[in-house]
Chain A
Amino acid sequence: AQTVTQSQPEMSVQEAETVTLSCTYDTSESDYYLFWYKQPPSRQMILVIRQEAYKQQNATENRFSVNFQKAAKSFSLKISDSQLGDAAMYFCAYRSGAWGTNQGGKLIFGQGTELSVKP
């Protein structure tokens, strides 16, 4: 079974600085997707960034980028130029690429990292 682990329950960063959130996962599959979701106090889960396992290039979305180390099964999120609005719970999630199965759409989440941003 696949698992996702986030070992940092809480992180803090100064406004305008850079912070990296860690995530490791375990799977025997070769085809999968990895995601970072942001969940602010409003509870709405918002997709931050997505990485396809078959792509070697790390995904980037504006101030957000990932360091995807497939062999090490590591998937960290880097937030550059942190803003007060970045404060939220961040979840790393895994999804099988075998979407034709009855578990294909299932997202497996880590425990989350609560990020606070200091002004």
Chain B
Amino acid sequence: ETGVTQSPTHLIKTRGQQVTLRCSSQSGHNTVSWYQQALGQGPQFIFQYYREEENGRGNFPPRFSGLQFPNYSSELNVNALELDDSALYLCASSLELGSKEQYFGPGTRLTVT
């Protein structure tokens, strides 16, 4: 157990809809990163938040957005869902930007039909 939780465990959405995924970091962890893991692939970095501000972004379009809250929780929002957005979404928290280790949550499985 890493102390990082994600909700929901899985969900099904229709193309064009919007979705919000949630992550609860370990207490005191100021940094959270989100990753997309397509089936049979390694995770791909979406973006990172540090102290409630975006601090780096991967090659994902603006319809992927996030929020980080003072209570160590965070959200990943995806608008205008596409079929290719079907994947496992992982969040990972760390104490600070320079921390060597990231602690992953169990992920949310999103299926877009």
Tell me, rounded to whole Å, the shortest Cβ–Cβ distance linking B44 to chain A: 8
Tell me, rounded to whole Å, the shortest Cβ–Cβ distance linking B40 to chain A: 8
B interface residues, how many (CB within 8 angstroms):
31
The answer to whether residues A45 and B41 also contact, given A105-B48, A105-B97 and a CB cut-off of 8 A, is no
Which residue on chain A has the smallest CB distance to residue B103?
A47
Interface string of B4-37 (1 = CB under 8 A from A): 0000000000000000000000000001010100
CA distance A110 to B100 in the complex (A): 18
The residues of A with any CB-CB pair to B shorter than 8 Å are: 4, 33, 37, 42-47, 50, 52, 91, 93, 99-112
> Which of chain B's residues have a CB closer than 8 A to the CB of A99?
97-98
Asked whether, in the complex, the Cβ of A104 is within 8 Å of the Cβ of B100, the reply is: no
Asked whether, in the complex, the Cβ of B33 is within 8 Å of the Cβ of A110, the reply is: no
Asked whether, in the complex, the Cβ of A103 is within 8 Å of the Cβ of B56, the reply is: yes
CA distance A42 to B94 in the complex (A): 21
Which of A37, A45, A50, A102 has the most C-beta atoms of chain B within 10 angstroms of its own C-beta?
A45
How many pairs, one residue from A and one from B, have CB atoms within 8 Å of each other in the complex? 70
Tell me, rounded to whole Å, the shortest Cβ–Cβ distance linking B86 to chain A: 15
Interface string of B37-63 (1 = CB under 8 A from A): 000111111001010000111100000
Tell me, rounded to whole Å, the shortest Cβ–Cβ distance linking B94 to chain A: 7
Which residue on chain A has the smallest CB distance to residue B56?
A102
Asked whether, in the complex, the Cβ of A43 is within 8 Å of the Cβ of B88, the reply is: yes
Asked whether, in the complex, the Cβ of A45 is within 8 Å of the Cβ of B56, the reply is: no
Asked whether, in the complex, the Cβ of A44 is within 8 Å of the Cβ of B2, the reply is: yes
Which residue on chain B has the smallest CB distance to residue A103?
B56
CA distance A33 to B102 in the complex (A): 12
> Which of chain B's residues have a CB closer than 8 A to the CB of A100?
97-98
Tell me, rounded to whole Å, the shortest Cβ–Cβ distance linking B101 to chain A: 6
> Which of chain B's residues have a CB closer than 8 A to the CB of A111?
41-42
> Which of chain A's residues have a CB closer than 8 A to the CB of B104?
37, 44-46
The answer to whether residues A106 and B33 also contact, given A43-B88, A44-B2, A112-B41 and a CB cut-off of 8 A, is yes
Asked whether, in the complex, the Cβ of B100 is within 8 Å of the Cβ of A45, the reply is: no
Which residue on chain A has the smallest CB distance to residue B2?
A44
